[in-house]
Structure 1
Amino acid sequence: MLRSSLAIATVTATLIATGLPAAACGEEDKPASEKVRVSGAPGAVKNVKAVGNVPDAQGAIAMGFLQYGHRDVMAVSGEFGLKVYDLTKNPAAPKLIGEVSLPGLWETEDTEVDVKRKLVFLARDPRAYGGTTQTGESGIYIIDLKNPEKPAILSYTKVPAGHTTSCVDDCRYLWTGGPAKAANQPADWGGRPIWVTDIRDPRNPKTAPDPIELARNDGKTDYVHDVQVDDEGVAWVSGRGGVRGYWTSGYHRDPVQGKVRRATAFSPVPYAGGGIEETAAPSKFMHNSFHPSGHRSADGADSNRWRGRDLIYATEESFLDGCVGDGVLTISSLQNSYNGEGWRSTPEKPFRLKSVGTWSVAGQEGSDPTTGDCSAHYFDVRGKVLVQSFYTQGTRFLDVSDPTDPKQIAYFRPADASAWAPYWHKGYVYVADNTRGIDILKLTA
């Protein structure tokens, strides 16, 4: 997550110098622990009950959940490395049972777990341990959690990217992307694309020498930030230039090559997607996404279709001076993007997905206009309720039953909030807060 290095003064200076939101540039190298955090008005809470907090997880960035029979375990990653908590007896009071200490690790955003093999994957950003985007080392730690009391590093492998790493093809491979390009990478790149790592043998990962997901920003190779896989196995790649989906297994029609071929993690088949309309996301930097394929609401309706339209949810991460122009939640239609349009887009003939709706925290009930960080960030969806982190603006619950008009139904904004990622889990929402640790919430609306 790019913003983790930003102080307010740095944001303003970068905007003047580049014309782009600093958070979307990924150039800042200040460690998160040295960031300026701004506290404004007192906190605000509505229709949410805070049932627990884990302060010893301060520096938390992301988390994943694993089941061991009836045992429920939470793996939390952050600037400290990895901490493992047992939720079985009391999910509102997680018990620390194991850890891998890696102080100074950056940044482990969107950490994923292999629920079958009980593995955790931590991305090492080049800014870890005092490095820089230009010269620092990046890679992947694979941690064995077969015994959650004794987590152990199985392997570490250098990879030319390292901001996030994500499972594809049933966690047999990792796609690793970001951040800004290194000094030894092509000058015309706007950021790092994806490198593919074979982790079928997690003790001996093998990373392919050549990257994929090139030319994603109107023909330019640019910053890939994150990958999310939907229920049908399509890997949705977010970054500067929009969101594009790929098949990573099976035989599918390739709309770019004009033929049916086998999809693999190393040679995926384009499915749909493209750039987001600049009226919805002016920076063009899409941080993460969600394609609700196969998700069904309580009434049995397929939530992937809204009035006949296939939707992609995504967040723009950008920071301007004040909250009004900061990154928003975007909802776009994938209509007219199934024939490779997003792969043929150029500056002269740009292709954009049609925006259906947006939501911004600026001016919303419970918001504090005096705080510095108001950009949209990670979110999670259950049915028609979307829960999302907005940094110092805390955690917001939205009713997205009408994607053209998302409505806030609840919020949790502590005065010292630094919310990065919320996760629905067994009726609770666990929020990775970089300042507060883990907040455990119950929606009461």
Structure 2
Amino acid sequence: MLRRTTVLRSTLVLAVATAVGLTPAAAFACDAEHVPGGTAHAEEGPSATSAQKNVELVGTLPDAQGAIALQFLQYGYGHRQRDVLVVSGEFGLKTYDLTADPARPTPLGELSMPGMWETEDTEVDPVRKLVFLARDPRAFGGNTQTGESGIYTVDLSDPARPELASYVRVPAGHTTSCVNDCRYLWTGGPAKAASMPEDWGGRPIWVTDVRDPRNPKVFPEPIDLGRNDGKTDYVHDVQVDAHGVAWTSGRGGVRGYWTSGMHRDPVTGGIRWATPWEPVPYAGGGVSELAAASTFMHNSYRPVGRKLRDGGDVRHGRPGELIYVTEEAFEPGCANDGVLVIASLRGSYQGQGWRSTPEDPFRLETVGTWGVAGQEGSDPDSGNCSAHYFDVRGDILVQSFYAQGTRFLDVSDPTNPTQVAYHRAADAASWAPYWHRGLVYVADNNRGVDILRLTR
């Protein structure tokens, strides 16, 4: 039975109270300020038709239209384990039961927040059963100059009854990400507010202590400053790899930080403890303009502890020295839109990415790239072609390309990513795909959730 909770007036959610009932913000890109004229929602062109290869559409959730991100939570153990899909988007948050049949989710509950934006890359605490939703300043009719941003913490102890545990204002709010086992959050983006320093190109990272999820505390000073050749700029998202390194992606490239333990700081040369609010630089830097002309890096993934098929030879460095990074960019036509970049971290471990300047820039070595323009199954007349979020299992990377749908790439040879399958509906607005139980769940902002099976 679906149980719905609607956010009402209270001191806890004062900002949402005035927004309930408002229509969602006008269509814009993940952040339209990345490139002038960017849009979020795919627009079906006159020649738009669906296309697919080596993929089967096994299920769909049209009632989740406006979906932006997905996550999964497990409850119980053994034969009593319950598998729950969590969907966030412009409607707020919805939960579905996948236990009986992962291709046919059953509605459970809802936290209704009409006009919410953006909840990109929503993350969950699988132990405490918490969900963290980022509120962009453009939510509920606001704007980047004066709008309010922050973090909602939702208690999903009972997935059929989502409960708003807390809301805290944060100077950033496009995405929020877990570090240190979700005891802390790193929140970044979007473009800077009118009250922020004139020389900033966008919002950096603010750290929030959520060890007590009903009483979050925001650290006053931001981090990951000077990321764009010395200029403080837009940090879009954070991904933590299997070794615990937190990678910040945004304008100016991708940089990794230790957030716990004792480490050598390559910038100062000293040894010190790393914390979420005073992290220690690890590696990374700018991405070559020849690979990603906009230099706006949207999200990243570092495969660690994985031997490359070529043996990790001198061209690619040791296993763990590759990083996959998405460029988000929107240009007229399709050919110059954002791409997937595979870069090498070799040569970036001595703080080069923190000392880069316009006069003496440091750039990571590009190993390979892949873009959807001109690829089989593409239709440049159907809308946006920019790369967006992706997920990796083994040698197969699955990635969203907005109106160009969901693409499956074989990345066993990182110098030559190769498309092996695709699914592009005529009305696609594919934002983020997720591997789960042998299927791929796609948050599609137009269609809701598509559930795909790779048949190759």
With the length of structure 1 as denominator, give the TM-score of the two structures: 0.92
Q: In structure 2, which of residues 249, 252, 268 is the aligned counterpart of residue 257 of structure 1?
A: 268
C-alpha distance in structure 2 between counterparts of 1:26 and 1:378, whole Å: 20
Identity level (%): 69
User: 1:18-48, CA deviations, whole angstroms, 9 ceiling, x for partnerless residues?
Assistant: xxx95515898x9x6xx57233421100000
SS, match of residue 140 in structure 2: helix
Q: Is the 8 A contact 2:42 2:403 kept in 1?
A: no
Q: Is the 8 A contact 1:391 1:418 kept in 2?
A: yes
C-alpha distance in structure 1 between counterparts of 2:267 and 2:352, whole Å: 8
Equivalent residue number for residue 44 of structure 2: 38
Count residues with an aligned counterpart.
425
Equivalent residue number for residue 235 of structure 2: 224
Q: Structure 1 residues 79 and 350, CA, compared in 2 at 3 Å: closer, same or farther?
A: same
User: 1:62-86, CA deviations, whole angstroms, 9 ceiling, x for partnerless residues?
Assistant: 0111010211001100000000010
C-alpha distance in structure 2 between counterparts of 1:144 and 1:98, whole Å: 12
Q: In structure 1, which of residues 61, 67, 70 is the aligned counterpart of residue 74 of structure 2?
A: 67
Deviation at 1:325, TM superposition (A): 0.3
Equivalent residue number for residue 279 of structure 1: 290
Q: Structure 1 residues 396 and 201, CA, compared in 2 at 3 Å: closer, same or farther?
A: same
1:52 aligns with 2:52: no
Q: Is the 8 A contact 1:385 1:399 kept in 2?
A: yes
SS, match of residue 370 in structure 1: helix
Equivalent residue number for residue 14 of structure 1: none
Q: In structure 1, which of residues 401, 410, 418 is the aligned counterpart of residue 412 of structure 2?
A: 401
1:235 aligns with 2:246: yes
Residue identity in the other structure for 1:64: Q
Q: Flag structure 2 segments of 5+ consecutive residues without an equivalent.
A: 1-24
Equivalent residue number for residue 168 of structure 2: 157
With the length of structure 2 as denominator, give the TM-score of the two structures: 0.90
Deviation at 1:293, TM superposition (A): 1.4
Q: Flag structure 1 segments of 5+ consecutive residues without an equivalent.
A: 12-20
Deviation at 1:361, TM superposition (A): 0.2
Deviation at 1:323, TM superposition (A): 0.4
Residue identity in the other structure for 1:232: H
Equivalent residue number for residue 8 of structure 2: none
Q: Structure 1 residues 48 and 291, CA, compared in 2 at 3 Å: closer, same or farther?
A: same
> Residues 81-230 of structure 1: matches in 2 within 5 Å?
81-230=92-241
Equivalent residue number for residue 34 of structure 2: 24
C-alpha distance in structure 1 between counterparts of 2:439 and 2:173, whole Å: 30
C-alpha distance in structure 1 between counterparts of 2:135 and 2:161, whole Å: 21
Equivalent residue number for residue 5 of structure 2: none
C-alpha distance in structure 2 between counterparts of 1:175 and 1:25, whole Å: 24
C-alpha distance in structure 2 between counterparts of 1:202 and 1:415, whole Å: 42
Residue identity in the other structure for 2:50: G
C-alpha distance in structure 1 between counterparts of 2:190 and 2:33, whole Å: 11
Q: Structure 1 residues 385 and 4, CA, compared in 2 at 3 Å: closer, same or farther?
A: farther
Deviation at 1:294, TM superposition (A): 2.9
Deviation at 1:302, TM superposition (A): 8.7
Residue identity in the other structure for 1:372: G
Equivalent residue number for residue 357 of structure 1: 368
C-alpha distance in structure 2 between counterparts of 1:200 and 1:294, whole Å: 30
Q: Is the 8 A contact 1:295 1:302 kept in 2?
A: no
SS, match of residue 319 in structure 1: coil
C-alpha distance in structure 2 between counterparts of 1:171 and 1:302, whole Å: 32
Equivalent residue number for residue 386 of structure 2: 375
Q: Is the 8 A contact 1:272 1:339 kept in 2?
A: yes
